[in-house]
Amino acid sequence: MLGGGGMVGEEEEAEFPERFRAYSENERHWQARREFILRNLPAGGAPEPASRIDQLLSLSMVWANHLFLGCSYSKDLLDKVTEMAEGIEVEDAPQFTSRDEIMKKHHS
């Protein structure tokens, strides 16, 4: 339960995202996604209503899946999560070649 009528103190804010770590996430992936979540929480902690946190968690997964697994999504969605992740540095992030890039190489 969040203290202070939905407001989260500094110590609680640091722990708040921990409950959203996926069982299968390795430490590197989780730390990047955790930073994404913390950067996009509204000032004062957890967003209200709960649907806002669900949306933030979904967007964090889209960003992480695109970054680490090479999943593709619509341009508008990728633009949104890329903007939300601006300034987050991830060392040794894999580089993926899109299907369109592969097709261009073979048809050139």
**Tens digits of residue pLDDT in 54-98:** 999 999 999 999 999 999 999 999 999 999 999 998 877 766 666
**CA distances to 30, 33, 65 from 2, in Å:** 22, 21, 28
Residue 44 pLDDT > 70, yes or no?
Answer: no
pLDDT confidence band for 4 (50 / 70 / 90): very low
Q: Which domain holds residue 41?
A: 10-106
* pLDDT confidence band for 1 (50 / 70 / 90): very low
- The number of domains in the chain is 1
Cα distance between residue 73 and residue 78, in whole Å: 6
The per-residue pLDDT for 96 is 65
> Does 5 map to a domain?
no
